Amino acid sequence: MRRLGLRSVAIFYLVAILLGPLAMVFYRAFEHGIHPLWSSLTDPNTIHAFRLTLEITAIAVPVNTIFGVVCALAIVRRRFPGAGIVNAIVDLPLALSPVVVGLMLFLLYGRSGWFGSWTSAHGVQVLFATPSMVIATIFVSLPFVAREVVPTLRELGDEQEQAAHTLGASGWQTFWRVTLPSIRWAVIYGVVLTTARCLGEYGAVAVVSGHIEGQTETATLRVQDYYENFNLTGAYGIAIVLAVISVLVLTAMTLLKPKESA
């Protein structure tokens, strides 16, 4: 009896907070028929927004993957005094508001900022342009690969690597043939989380991008744009595209989780 009660509470909570609202969005998107939905989605600025989101993600994910793996290796395999601090700094983007991240970059690359004066003198546009959006996205999606790989590396121990060394493998060979394969599921899971974070980034890019339609709007910024301009169908349209991608991401996460923790 008590079991049923607990179960019902949990299910009710999830439906009320997660599933109900999501179902509504799909309903509203198609409410006025396919045509208005399609025209909003194929508007050139919207297509540009999707492209920009994908471009930024395509840069940020590999960068953070490489960083994540190297960082995890450094933290776990090399005992150095600052390891705890490095760990904390890597975790910071998880705890920090994206708006604050945006502000920090705004200050750094703004006209009177430390880098800002240098870049504007050399004609490099960072703020209100793609570069700052890429940097912002890298910042906020920094931790994921590292956080997944660190515990896996710790659990694995370095015996396999030691064995490889005794068999004559160099550092690089050991990494490619022994270390990397044994952490691959953790890396993949981390990549999935990173990608989801990049696709969904809003706060930081909202600050640094300037919201310039057709130039510096990502898909998430465009949702807000459509909504504030009362183009609800457009907003829901982009939302369901993003939601479908998220469900795919979620599926990937669910399938990968058991492999990652095995």
Partner 1 sequence: MGFVTTFLSVVVLLPIAALLSASTTEGWHQFWSVVTAPEAVASLKLTLGAAVIVSLINAVVGTLTAWVLVRDDFAGKSLMNAVIDLPFALPTIVGGLTLLTLYGPRSPVGIDIAFTRTAIFLALLFETLPFVVRTVQPVLHELDREAEEAARSLGAREARVFRSIVLPNIAPGILSGVALGFARAVGEIGAIVLISGNVPFKTEVAAVFVFNHIQSGDQNGASAVAVVMLAIAFLLLLAIGGIRYLATRHERHA
Q: Which residues of 43-70 are buried (b: 16+ CB within 10 A; e: fewer)?
A: beebebbbebbeebbebbbeebbebbbe
| 151/186 Cα distance (integer angstroms) | 9
* Interactions with partner 1, residue window 234-253 (CB under 8 A): 235-236, 239, 242-243, 246-247, 249-251, 253
Contact 219, 132 (CB under 8 A): no
- Beta-carbon contacts of 166 under 8 Å, excluding residues fewer than 6 positions away, are none
Q: Which is nearer to partner 1, 121 or 166 (CB)?
A: 121
- Beta-carbon contacts of 240 under 8 Å, excluding residues fewer than 6 positions away, are 25, 26, 29
- Residue from 95, 168, 230, 262 that binds partner 1 (CB under 8 A)? 95
* Interactions with partner 1, residue window 12-51 (CB under 8 A): 13-14, 17-22, 24-25, 27-28
Q: Which is nearer to partner 1, 107 or 163 (CB)?
A: 107
**Residue 88 engages partner 1 in binding (rule: CB under 8 A):** yes
* Interactions with partner 1, residue window 141-180 (CB under 8 A): 142
Q: What angle do CA 172, 178, 183 make, to 5 degrees?
A: 110
x/- mask, partner 1, residues 180-219, rule CB under 8 A, reads -------------x--x--xxxxx--xx-----------x
Quote the least distance from Cβ 100 to partner 1, whole Å: 5
